[in-house]
Amino acid sequence: GCVLVVSVIEQLAQWHNSTVKAAVERLCDYIPGKYQIMCHMSHCIDREMNADVVCHSLRLCKQDPGQPLCHLYSPPKLHHLCELMHPSTFIFLPLQKSFMGFSSVCAFPLLANLCEKIKFVLRNKLPFEDFDGDKFSTFPTLRGYHWRGRDCNDKNTTVYPGRRPDNWDAKSDSNCNGIWGVDPKDGIPYEEKFCKGADSRGVVLLGDSAGAHFHIPPEWMTVTEMSAKSFANLPMAFSDEFDWPQFSEITGFLNSTIGGWTDSLYLRLRKRNRCNHRDLQNISQNGIRGRLIQEIRSGLARNQLLDNPAIVIYATIGNDVCNGERDTLAHMTTPKEMLSNVVQALRYLDSHLPNGSHVILTGLVDGRFLWDNLHDRYHPLGQLNKDVTYSQVYSFLDCLQVSPCSGWLTPNETLRNLTSERALQLSNVLKEIARSEKYANFDIFYMDFPLRQTAEEWRKMGGEPWQLIEPVDGFHPSQIAAALGTGITWQKALHEWPQVLGKENPFNDQIEAIFKDQGGH
């Protein structure tokens, strides 16, 4: 974190031909008030030294005994580095001491309350603001309606998205799809007239950081594009764990503000049947692996007797083979563990999903695509001076043992191939489960992660493969990849499993005409 912040400050000074102090003040003007934690560094970077040296000098970075010296930039001569890092030459020790007191973001008083809320959300996978306890919220972030359909009455636990209508919603909207009341012409409730027998269904994603749609805006690190507007979304991003589920491939529903466009399984289901409005749940978490049972137990909101069926997408596309460990292969999920984890989760789903539901198991991605298309390109931090490639970023994170995927983000081709081999083994486990397992309340399907088809589609549109990868972390699918992946998944379902998607509702236009003012997300 220190290296990233110092890099941005030094590049701001270079780009605007200013002092470091002026660059820090400029950055602090850009960033919303209570997030200005780096402003404590305003007098720490007065020398011509790169970010690695500054952060070691501040003792925010350190070299443990027996461990390599981790650095993002090419290191200065060894004696120069040692001299700079020696306490006798560091002239801002009082400031260093005060900064170290705030080395954790959550230690800052203004952020402490927000951090406690985020810890609650991470523990429970539930909305922080949920007054009636039905697992749906009227608040967007902190696992609110960015993650699952917006509640339309947060004081009534029997009113929430996805339930079957109460008395055809003649008097009020019990399922939050905006359709309620009685047609004065014939006395028939609108919900009964338009949605009865319409195969209404919701969509639930059980996933990892890719499903949650992890994204760090590149303009936060690209000084040539940086302005006050660049950080306007920082509070929202922080409260959503740097995830953007509202734009994601499965549950996205808002127009993208992070590039590309939004296309999602939810939006297509809603277009197919307007009665599906707001029936979405994104139960994904950064870093989660195939053992999703705890997340499902605490986060899934589906009543087997009262609610509509659901399409459940089970997609942990990388974390079962991805970790930051030195011996990464030893820490990957084994096929035996994968089988046990997934079957346990499916049994739980069978006891909670309404009859007529569907489960789609998504295979793991072949992550060799990442190194092949990014390793020699410049990272946003390296674009100004052409001095930081993705290969350097991957090595830096791996040295710190915080790599999102040591097996794929490595120059070691043998290790990359072994990681993909394990990913294929785990995908084959999922494929066999879909072929052989039978459940009472849902049928089950398998599909490969559509990376190859997505890349081919993007090439036809004139794009480059590297644009399908998040630019800052160099690991997750980008907004473009998410939108293109939706179309491929939809076409596969339409042609191979049409029963999953339900019927087209012939009353969609009438519903929109009558309830257009009540259908906002």
Residues forming the active site: 209
Q: Which helix (H) or strand (E) holds 508?
A: helix 508-515
In one-letter notation, the amino acid at residue 193 is K
The closest alpha carbon to 443, from 511, 504, 497, belongs to: 497
* C-alpha angle 335-295-120 in degrees, rounded to nearest 5: 140
The closest alpha carbon to 430, from 288, 333, 501, 309, belongs to: 333
Q: How far apart are alpha carbons 480 and 469 in whole angstroms?
A: 9
Q: How far apart are alpha carbons 195 and 515 in whole angstroms?
A: 13
Which residue has 């674009």 as its token pair?
A: 383
- The residues near 181 (Cβ < 8 Å, ≥ 6 apart) are 169, 170, 171, 189, 190
The closest alpha carbon to 19, from 41, 38, 47, belongs to: 47
Q: How far apart are alpha carbons 370 and 359 in whole angstroms?
A: 28
- The residues near 429 (Cβ < 8 Å, ≥ 6 apart) are 335, 338, 339, 342
Report the chain's C-alpha Rg in angstroms.
Answer: 25
Decide: 448 and 363 in contact? Cβ < 8 Å: yes
Decide: 501 and 494 in contact? Cβ < 8 Å: yes
For residue 211, the cross-strand partners are: none
Decide: 55 and 99 in contact? Cβ < 8 Å: no
- The residues near 241 (Cβ < 8 Å, ≥ 6 apart) are 118, 121, 122, 212, 286
Furthest C-alpha separation in the chain: 89
Q: CB-based burial of residue 241 (10 Å sphere; 0-12 exposed, 13-18 middle, 19+ buried)?
A: buried
Main-chain dihedrals φ then ψ at residue 246, nearest 5 degrees: -70, -10
Written as one string, the DSSP assignment of 82-124 is HHHHSGGG---HHHHHHHHTT-SGGGSHHHHHHHHHHHHHHHH
Decide: 325 and 217 in contact? Cβ < 8 Å: no
Q: How far apart are alpha carbons 271 and 504 in whole angstroms?
A: 9
Q: How far apart are alpha carbons 214 and 6 in whole angstroms?
A: 23
Q: Which helix (H) or strand (E) holds 202?
A: strand 202-207
Decide: 439 and 361 in contact? Cβ < 8 Å: no
Residue 152 structure tokens: 């339309």
